[in-house]
Structure 1
Amino acid sequence: MAELRYNPLLKDWTMVAASRAKRPHMPKDFCPFCPESGKVPADYDVHLYTNDFPVLSPQPPEPDQVGGGLYKTKEAYGKCEVVLYSPGHHDTIPDLSRPHMKKLVDLWTESFAKLDADPNHEYVMTFENRGEEVGVTMPHPHGQIYAYPFIPLKVRTELDSCREYYADNGRNLFDDMVKEEKRFGERVIAETEHFIAFIPFFTDYPYGVFIVAKDKKTALTEFDELEKEELGMLIQDVVGGMDRIYDRPFPYMMTMHPRPSNNDEQYDEFYRFHIEFYPPLRAKDRLKFNSSSETGGWAAANPTKVEDNAAILRQCTEEYRAEKDVEQHERTAAD
């Protein structure tokens, strides 16, 4: 059973997919994402894999006859794809070479472009769940791409806030956020010519980094080759820095926020492409759990001081980048 159920309280859709309860934990002696599995190419760098347990699909079944009145259902149309980062079973984003990371950004971009063009898709989100702490059952490095037949509520809220800010002030909200973060300085983690990474003033996760495009760009498909290279490098630097904080792979949820699909509205004046990280660690072996207030009221709470966390992550990111630069130089010299 797979369908969408409408929540009239939040004016949003809940995706229902009972088949996902059957998702297996990966057996210790087999991984379907490794080249020898027979389920993926014998030789690949990055690879797009159709999700075996999709919550959205191009040929969805008819909804169950369980709704009525204000309880509306509709077909769970869409697409769920898995993006394999590397054939190496234990490679994660910081382990990839810079050129390999560029191939990953290229695959994200190509997949986004294809899904974005489908007139039945209203929003395409690229994301990654990393670590058992956030529910990962397949440890082989991968992310996912969902094409939704609706715009998720959080994204709609962001868009509405940005529209309102632009109407009231004549300026882009993300541009003003970036300006203030650069002025204050203490929450900035890293920066390139076209992107900036910082832990926002308002984040509710101790290391909840944002990566924001500085220019009028609202989707992966708008970036040139240099910008895609920079974006991949900055993602690597941030995740590599996180891994150094507690000398362990840092669990996180990462989501890319582009503009909506198949809409004639011009978003570049009031919106920006950005990436949001939600890392649940608040200490080496302690997780940040959402309380009743946070879950039931969406009353966000941060148990740590952002500026202290930013200083730690900034130093770790700089150390990772320096090490990566040496590695890349040695690799280039060897070639």
Structure 2
Amino acid sequence: MSDIRRDRLYDRYVLIAPERMRRPDKLSTKPIVDKIDSCPFCEGHEHMTPSEIYAIRDGDRDEKGWSVRVIPNLYKALQVELNDHSQNDGMFESRSGVGAHEVVIDTTDHYSRFSTMSVSHIADWLSAISSRISDLRNDKRLVYASVFKNSGEGAGATQPHPHTQILALPIMPDNVLRMMEKNLQYYRRHGHGKVEDILANEIREEVRIVAQKGDFTAYCPFASSYPFEVIIAPRKALMSIDELNRDDIAHLAQLISDVFKRLDAQLGEFEYNLAFNLSPLNSNFENEEYFPHLKKYNRMTIRIMPRIYRLGGFELSTGILINPVEPEEAAKLLREFDRNIS
């Protein structure tokens, strides 16, 4: 039986339609096969990339001996070296593409997944991202940082070696700005944050909870846009990854490892997108009204979106996604994999 649900976090509708599982192309995953000889992200191939910006390493810069490495994107969408200027000619408005586009090479292991990485290595990955966000925040031209992973061709990846991208923008993305506006309106009406209330309700109902570690909870959202979608959210006020202390990073790393072990057990080597929802880096004319109470109503989240169901014309034309797996069923299946999770 189909169910039209309202996603309170992103303020949109989702169509939960289990009957769509009967389609011939229902849920599908495919292993990612490739060659590593010419991979620029593998250890020993440092000469094939731009010089590193940051690394967690034992050896010398741009040499072997690293565990996580950050480099400029060779095919950058934005350039930090540009001067920031804008032009408005009637209906045609533009500005220079100033910003940062960085690649976090997650690991030296070409075939590693979060389910096979050690928890300590995932913690290093989180620490590297935290360090980069903290550094980018110092450039007052930069207003918002998008941190995301594309894993697999179906998720938009062009490089199979595990990596994460950071795109720091001089503008606020429209959808992020709308979400901040809705979150502020909610806070003014209720005196507390929307993410805080959603999480409290999910914990109370329990049926969509996947796992918890420290101050972090992983759950399949009530209006999941994707089959087996998981959101990881903090139960305390944290706006950005660079606010996490050592214990926070350790607990979050444990939970990410836990969640991906569960997902891989159900889906195999699935393709996915992962996105951090972080508060703005700096204030500008677009977001300045939201800053005074930002700590009270805005929280960081990590959204894991398995790409195992194809989008069609309906989804692309309406913006309403169809999810053939009820989130309650997805969470139940993921919870069943409790054995061997440490």
* TM superposition score normalised by structure 2: 0.79
Is 1:31 the counterpart of 2:39? The answer is yes
3-state SS of paired residue (2:132): helix
Aligned residue type for 1:29: D
Provide the rounded CA distance (Å) in 2 between the counterparts of 1:161 and 1:111: 28
Provide the rounded CA distance (Å) in 2 between the counterparts of 1:308 and 1:33: 38
Provide the rounded CA distance (Å) in 2 between the counterparts of 1:70 and 1:186: 50
Alignment map for 1:89-238 (pairs within 5 Å): 89-238=110-259
Provide the rounded CA distance (Å) in 2 between the counterparts of 1:217 and 1:81: 24
Gaps of 5+ in 2: 1-33, 49-61, 284-290
Structure 2 counterpart of 1:260:
280
Residue 27 (structure 1) shift: 6.3
Q: Is the 8 A contact 2:36 2:42 kept in 1?
A: no
Is 1:271 the counterpart of 2:291? The answer is no
Aligned residue type for 1:207: F
Residue 221 (structure 1) shift: 1.6
Provide the rounded CA distance (Å) in 2 between the counterparts of 1:44 and 1:265: 40
Percentage identity across paired residues of the two chains: 25
Residue 294 (structure 1) shift: 2.3
Alignment map for 1:320-331 (pairs within 5 Å): 322-323=340-341, 325=342
3-state SS of paired residue (2:110): coil
Gaps of 5+ in 1: 1-25, 282-286, 326-335
Q: Is the 8 A contact 1:85 1:93 kept in 2?
A: no
Residue 62 (structure 1) shift: 9.6
- Bigger proportion of residues as helix: 1
Structure 2 counterpart of 1:244:
265
Out of 63, 87, 94, the position equivalent to 1:41 is 63
Aligned residue type for 1:213: P
Residue 303 (structure 1) shift: 2.2
Query: For each residue in 1:42-98, what CA deviation from the matched residue of structure 2 results, as whole angstroms up to 9, or x when unmatched?
Result: 1211111110001111124999x9x84212111111001111111111112222212
Structure 2 counterpart of 1:332:
none
Provide the rounded CA distance (Å) in 1 between the counterparts of 2:177 and 2:317: 20
Residue 218 (structure 1) shift: 0.4
Structure 1 counterpart of 2:57:
none
CA RMSD of aligned residues (A): 2.1
Residue 293 (structure 1) shift: 3.2
Provide the rounded CA distance (Å) in 2 between the counterparts of 1:315 and 1:144: 32
Query: For each residue in 1:84-135, what CA deviation from the matched residue of structure 2 results, as whole angstroms up to 9, or x when unmatched?
Result: 1111111122222122121111101001101122101110121111112112
Provide the rounded CA distance (Å) in 1 between the counterparts of 2:317 and 2:169: 25
Q: Is the 8 A contact 2:231 2:302 kept in 1?
A: yes
Tell me the number of residue pairs that the alignment of Structure 1 and Structure 2 aligns.
288
Residue 213 (structure 1) shift: 1.0
Aligned residue type for 1:142: H
For CA contacts below 8 A with separation 6 or more, give which structure has more relative contact order: 2
* TM superposition score normalised by structure 1: 0.81
